[in-house]
């Protein structure tokens, strides 16, 4: 009995040490900088998830495939699926930076990061690094672009009524909507801004009907945030209503209805993180993309400049 127990312990120790060996974070020995990221929605959602995917692609183009590679798991709307992926990437030791793109993943990193102190993590949108020196946090000052969008909308509205379709009254979405409302108030204090939070990030039919309701109540300008806005965009186009966007460029889909979009360019902060990591700092810093540092870019839609390729005018 005792003998077999002893054997078991020996065996366990052997297995454990093997596992530990394989688990020990040997950061990548080659010069390639490797990133792995999870995002809740699809990489082509024209919104939050796409903004990160596009940023990583942009960095790859800039640094070259020989120097920068990334793995991307999209569609992890089940929070726990992201937890599994993040843990595996962290344990593999193959990645220089592991990104959890979505504020719902913060709790996961809070538990995970202390277990893997040699791996660098980043997450957003939030500004909390949990006091850990291997966690970066990033936010978008989406109220800035929201303010610009709102100010323009205030000037452009003829009926004096503007409709907003939001998901849930939190985080990035709330920030944008609040900025937008403030922007309208700045240029057109008499205008009414009707805000609807439909309580879902993905319910396209409901978002579309919310937009319909806005139009029925006199709105001649619509805006909204999160991936379910494709419905409202299509509706705006159909009804000749102007559309103001955020998170990613929606110029192609909104066509003649699109006025201006606030586009996220996470590469601005990601490049700095990469530099930090290469010089040995694994985290502890909160970043923000904003209009100043070029992380937020305003892009005109076809309602303003019919041929594509218009930058931000003055």
Partner 1 sequence: MIGNIITASVFASMIRLATPYLFAALGETLGQRSGVLNLGLDGMMLMGAFFAFYAVFITGSLILGLIAAIIVGGLMGLAMAFISVTLKAEQGISGIGIFLFGLGMSELLFQQWIGTPTTVSGIPDVYIPILSDIPVIGHIFFNHNILVYVAFALVPIMTLVLNKTNFGLMVRAVGQNPEAADAMGVSVTKVRYTTLIIGGILAGLAGASLSIAQINVFQQNLTAGQGFIAVALVYFGGWKPRGVMLGALLFSFVNALQLQISVVGVNIPSEFSAMAPYIITLLALVFASKSREKPDALTKPFERG
Partner 2 sequence: MSIRKRPNIFRGINVERLLDLIPILIALFAAFIVASFLLIALDANPITAFSAMFEGAFGSQNATAETLVKATPILFVAIGITIAFRGGVINIGGEGQMIAGALGAITVTLMIGESLNWLVIPLALFAGFIAGGIYGGIAGFLKAYFDVNEILSTIMLNQIAVQLMNFLLNGPLLDPESGGFNNIPKTARISEVAQLPRLAIFDFFSRTRLHYGLIIAIIIAIIIYVLLWRTTIGYRIRAVGLNQRASRYAGINVERQIVLSMFLAGGMAGLAGAVQVLGLNYRLQTDGSPAGFTANAGFNGIVAALFGGLNPLGAIPASTFFGALLVGAQKMQREVGVPASMITAINGLIVVFVVSSQIFILRRTRRRVGEAIGQMDDNHTEKLKEGEN
Query: Which residues of the shown chain bind partner 1 in the complex (CB under 8 A)?
Result: 41-42, 44-46, 75, 163, 169, 194-200, 202-206, 208-210, 212-214, 216-217, 227-228, 230-231, 233-235, 237-238, 252-253
- Segment 98-137, which members bind partner 2 (CB under 8 A)? 102-104, 106-107, 110-111, 115, 126-128
Q: Which is nearer to partner 1, 133 or 255 (CB)?
A: 255
Q: How many angstroms separate the CA atoms of 273 and 270, rounded?
A: 5
- Tokens read off for 287: 């970043």
Q: For residue 43, which phi and psi values (nearest 5 degrees)?
A: -70, -10
Helix (H, G, I), strand (E, B) or coil at 213: helix
- Segment 215-274, which members bind partner 2 (CB under 8 A)? none
Least distance to partner 1, CB of residue 265, Å? 18
Least distance to partner 2, CB of residue 94, Å? 12
Is 241 within 8 Å of 159 (Cβ atoms)?
A: no
Decide: residue 192, CB within 10 A, 0-12 exposed, 13-18 middle, 19+ buried: middle
Size of residue set near partner 2 by CB under 8 A? 50
**Pairing status of strand 286-289 against strand 135-140:** parallel
Span from 150-158, 161-169, 242-250, 299-307 in contact with partner 2 (CB under 8 A): 161-169
List of residues 6+ apart from 223 with CB closer than 8 A:
149, 153, 162, 163, 164, 165, 180, 243, 244, 245, 246
- Look at the block and give the residue holding tokens 């809070």: 110
Least distance to partner 1, CB of residue 306, Å? 18
Q: Which of 57, 63, 69, 81 binds partner 2 (CB under 8 A)?
A: 81
Least distance to partner 2, CB of residue 304, Å? 29
Q: How many angstroms separate the CA atoms of 166 and 183, rounded?
A: 17
The residue ranges that bind partner 2 (CB under 8 A) are 8-9, 12-13, 15-16, 19, 22-23, 40, 42, 71, 73-81, 83-85, 87-88, 91, 102-104, 106-107, 110-111, 115, 126-128, 167-172, 174-175, 199-202
């Amino acid at each position: 009995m005792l003998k077999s127990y002893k054997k078991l312990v020996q065996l366990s120790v052997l297995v454990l040490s093997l596992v530990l060996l394989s688990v020990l974070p040997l950061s990548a020995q080659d010069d390639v900088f490797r990133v792995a990221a999870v995002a809740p929605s699809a990489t082509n959602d024209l919104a939050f998830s796409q903004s990160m995917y596009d940023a990583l692609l942009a960095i790859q183009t800039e640094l070259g495939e020989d120097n920068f590679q990334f793995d991307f798991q999209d569609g992890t709307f089940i929070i726990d699926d992201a937890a599994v992926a993040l843990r595996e990437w962290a344990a593999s030791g193959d990645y220089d930076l592991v990104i959890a793109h979505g504020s719902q993943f913060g709790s996961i990193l809070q538990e995970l990061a202390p277990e893997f102190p040699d791996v660098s993590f980043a997450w957003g949108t939030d500004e909390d690094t949990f006091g850990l020196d291997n966690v970066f946090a990033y936010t978008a000052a989406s109220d800035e672009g929201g303010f610009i969008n709102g100010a323009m909308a205030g000037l452009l509205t003829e009926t004096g009524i503007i409709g907003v379709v939001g998901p849930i009254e939190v985080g990035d979405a709330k920030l944008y909507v609040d900025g937008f409302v403030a922007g309208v108030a700045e240029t057109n204090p008499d205008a009414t801004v009707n805000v609807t939070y439909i309580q879902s990030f993905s319910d396209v039919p409901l978002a579309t009907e919310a937009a319909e309701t806005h139009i029925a109540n006199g709105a001649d300008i619509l805006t909204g945030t999160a991936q379910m806005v494709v419905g409202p965009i299509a509706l705006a186009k159909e009804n000749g209503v102007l559309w103001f966007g955020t998170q990613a460029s929606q110029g192609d889909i909104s066509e003649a209805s699109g006025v201006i979009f606030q586009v996220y360019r996470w590469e601005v902060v990601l490049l700095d993180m990469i530099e930090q990591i290469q010089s040995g700092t694994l985290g502890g810093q909160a970043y923000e993309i904003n209009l100043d540092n070029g992380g937020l870019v305003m892009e005109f839609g076809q309602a303003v400049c019919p041929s594509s390729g218009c930058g931000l005018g003055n």
